[in-house]
Amino acid sequence: MELGRIVGRNVTEAKFRCPYGEYLALGEIVVVEDAETAEPYYLRVFNITYGAEASGDDWFERTAGHMLAMDGAEMEYGFADKERRLYKLASASVLGVLRDGNFRRAKGLVAHFSGVRRARDADFEFLPSETLTVGRLRSGDEPLPHRVGLAPEALPYHIGIFATTGMGKSNLLKCFCASALESGQAGLLVLDPHGEYFDGGVPDRRGLVHHPRADRLAVYSSRPLSGNYSQLRLSASEVEVRDLLHLYDFSGPQREALNAARQRYQRNWLVELNERNAEQVSEELHGEFHPGTIGVIKRRLRYLWQFDLLSSDPDVTASEAIIAHLDAGKVVLVDTSNMFETEELLVSMVLARAVFESHKAKYAHPKEFAKLPPVLVTLEESQRLLSETRGNVFAQIAREGRKFRVGLCAVSQQPKLIHSEVLSQFNTLFVMGLADRRDRESLQASAKQDLSRLDMEIQTLAAGEAILTSPHVPFALPIAVDLYEDYLQALPPPEEQPQRASDDGFF
């Protein structure tokens, strides 16, 4: 059944007329069967206006005035041929054309007055069926059966998940982790500062531990959890001076003292600073730094030891086990929800660097490196560490990670605070509801597909709705993200799920 007819406009934008009674939604994908070639063109509605067959530009205002004047009167205003005289006019971007089974950009005009119809699931058979799915394709308000997501190979090219609070960022990431648990084809390091991914955080929610393939989940925590987990401990020798410079405000002399201590005590520098008094350290640094300067540094670093997080033994660390889990295609959840922000960020930097340097070292051994699944490191509230282009491991991963099959997943409600150079490295974006215009503009400037006409659609996205933009999809895909709890209920029990080795599909 036809929804409307094309009435203009150019190669990249089309206008079509719809009957008055037809419901049309912002973001709806429609198909135009070209009246001359029969080739299907795909359009995406980005604006809807009123139309009327009437004389004068002020006909709407005049008619409304007549109706208001008759309100309360015994006679009603007579509206002749309402269904014929009133209509809707849709503006739509031309997504492309399906030609010989291949979807491509349209370079010619669709025939004038060609019929427009609503898209059906069969119209999207050209879209790939990816492994790591998060929901279903959506047309306007309506979810379609086609599952949408990413291939594991897309992970090293970095992913951004951006939304205002309450729009579903955490739910989307849980669904992504669920797909990873089922596939075993990618390693995910999930750094959780809010304690919501293990068991859901609240009674009516579910976490990763409830997934039928939780055997592929490894959990590390600094707080007691009601389930299987390992104690999170790191070696003090893994902490670098540059980590601390992102956590505390140090003066110039204090920075110099930190670097001098690192050079003097080598890998054990943080332990030595903690165990020795300020006068001893000052003397062993040849008196170049006043004991008061050393004392300030020691007081600031004292808090790093309060959670029993750091060990003075270089062999006591969770890093090696975490890397082994990731190399086996597992999801590793690191719960830091009982820590202060300083310690939580330190854990994130130490573990991310350990993973990155491990992959970088294995890159020198092609046969071993070829067996590694891609790894994705998630960073909640990512604007805290991605506002600069240099100096921390996350910015380094954003620049170099794809070469070593290590990707970064930035989760944030304020993408405008992420440095534009870093944000431009993210090939895949999940854009959810964003109220701030500057946030939307920053994503439009960095996205690999044109989002300029989707600004109104992004503003009107409901919770659980997203737009996926990536070089791995033919156009920015509207998605209805699964509710994680509903997704779990729909899964078959573990014994009915296909058993697949973590390296299936890589060789």
**What pLDDT is stored for residue 128 in this prediction?**
86
Looking at the chain, the whole-number percentage of residues with pLDDT higher than 70 is 95
Strand partners for 486: none
Per DSSP bridges, beta strands 40-52 and 86-99 are: antiparallel
Cβ neighbours around 406 below 10 Å, total? 28
pLDDT of 506 over the 70 cut = no
Q: What is the pLDDT of residues 64-121, one digit of tens each?
A: 888 888 876 666 666 677 778 899 999 999 999 999 889 999 999 999 999 999 999 8
Integer angstrom CA distances of residue 101 from 30, 34, 98, 150, 307: 18, 16, 6, 21, 59
**What pLDDT is stored for residue 507 in this prediction?**
26
Q: What is the pLDDT of residues 239-258, one digit of tens each?
A: 999 989 888 889 999 999 99
Cβ neighbours around 91 below 10 Å, total? 17
pLDDT of 504 over the 50 cut = no
Averaged pLDDT for residues 470-488: 94
Two tokens at 32? 């135009």
**What pLDDT is stored for residue 74 in this prediction?**
64
Averaged pLDDT for residues 256-281: 93
Integer angstrom CA distances of residue 282 from 271, 276, 293, 410: 15, 10, 9, 41
pLDDT of 54 over the 90 cut = no
HEC string for 323-354? HHHHHCCCEEEEECCCCCHHHHHHHHHHHHHH
Q: What is the pLDDT of residues 317-366, one digit of tens each?
A: 999 999 999 999 999 999 999 888 888 999 999 999 999 999 999 999 99
